[in-house]
Amino acid sequence: MKKMRVFVGFFLVMIVLILGIGGYKYGPLFNFYIIPPSPQKFASIAVNEMNQKGLFARGNYWEKVKQETLHKVKGAKSYAETLPALSKAVEVAGGKHSAIYQENQVDKTNVVMPTAKVNQGILTIEIPEFVGSEAQAKTYAKKISSALLNTSYKDLIIDLSKNQGGDMGPMISGLAPILPDGTLVFAIDKNHSEREVTLSNNQLSGGGTPVDIGSAKKIKDLRIALLLGKETGSSGEITAMSFLGLKNVKTFGTPTAGYTTVNWQYNMYNGYTMQLTTEMLKDRMGKVYKNSPIEPDVQTDQAYEKATQWLKSENSK
């Protein structure tokens, strides 16, 4: 019996050691830490993630920046002191769409909801940026889909001109009734592996927070004008891209902000978050975007007026 207790005790000690070593080595991948990382370990983990996933993390220049970053943080006494070097590194590894910030710097309480109005048979839906909770995402998406499904109108204007991005899930889910099922855009990583962002039965897959708007019929043969501008960025641009190449769709405004890439979010220790660009985008017509702007079909500073004129002229035919 004594030998059995010794064996069980030894077995439990080994399990604890294995779990401890595994947690120390692999825990940071899941933002789990046995002990708080040193500032140097904190920076090393971040650089390793950039190296593995960053869209532009390759070549001699990146290797130089990577080594310089690890050298610069050697004397850091806090996580905050590593940020200048890490911020430069993440911009090299991921481009201008990437950043490191503290979670409390993101305001998820003041969510602006989409608005809709009808004028002379034209429904205009203004779709703002979105950063919020899952409950807010559902409300946001339903505002859009309800306007599309429960309003009387002939033509449609989708205003993305002030949409700076955030979560594209509720944006595209809300617009699902006017988007065809199938591939909306393609995402391509630095190794040229390609995946699809798709829509099926009003469910978005491959990007953003999934939002269920319920069963909704598809609205076909609808003329759609998209309003774009220099503030249209990130998920706002991807939402616009989902319409490019579709029949009866035309874009108006000025070139977009040029954040046409996919970001991956890594939750770091102590409330820090890294947004790292991991993929470029390709539209259904085969055009590739790598933080390049979307050029409207009609470039104008009077996007709403020009869009309205186009819709009315089409109606008169």
Spell out the SS3 assignment of 220-238: CCCCEEEEECCCCCCHHHH
pTM of this structure: 0.85
* Residues of the chain where predicted confidence (pLDDT) is lower than 70: 1-34, 103-109, 314-317
Residue 60 forms part of a structural domain:
yes
pLDDT at 214: 85
- Domain around 47: 37-95
81/124 same-domain check: no
Residue 168 forms part of a structural domain:
yes
Residue 18 forms part of a structural domain:
no
Residue 245 forms part of a structural domain:
yes
133/245 same-domain check: yes
Q: Is 27 helix (H, G, I), strand (E, B) or coil?
A: helix
Pairing of strands 115-119, 99-102: unpaired
pLDDT at 161: 98
pLDDT at 3: 53
188/258 same-domain check: yes
Q: What is the mean pLDDT of the chain?
A: 89
Residue 236 forms part of a structural domain:
yes
pLDDT at 35: 84
Which two three-digit tokens encode residue 212?
Answer: 């269920």
Residue holding tokens 């939402």? 239
pLDDT at 19: 45
